[in-house]
Amino acid sequence: MTSLAIIPARGGSKRLKRKNIVDFHGEPIISYTIRAALKSGCFDRVVVSTDDKEIFKISSKYHNDIVIRPKAFSTDKSTVNEVCDNFFKK
């Protein structure tokens, strides 16, 4: 069986602006999530799914499996299920 981690990282955070790329102890927050998923050994594939070019660029410093998703799946109302469904339909 193959296991997959999809890390949804949208650019339009409302409560904490740009939270995925905010510096936390010298690293962008998204880097901790990527590293934890890779280090866990639980997944055969780890993918970052984002709608944001800057998140894409920063994430690519920590991992190279990043996909751009449509803005339609990056709204306040978008669900993780929709993000994953969009990924699998590609």
* 76 and 1 Cβ atoms separated by less than 8 Å: no
Residues 15-49: tens digit of each pLDDT: 888 999 999 999 999 999 999 999 999 999 999 99
Q: Between 13 and 21, where is the model more confident?
A: 21
Average confidence (pLDDT) over 55-75: 93
Average confidence (pLDDT) over 58-68: 95
Measured between alpha carbons, how far is 87 from 90 in angstroms, rounded to an integer? 6
- Percent of the chain past pLDDT 70, that is, above it, reads 99
Spell out the domains of the chain, with CATH numbers in brackets.
Answer: 4-88 (3.90.550.10)
Reported pTM = 0.88
Measured between alpha carbons, how far is 15 from 86 in angstroms, rounded to an integer? 25
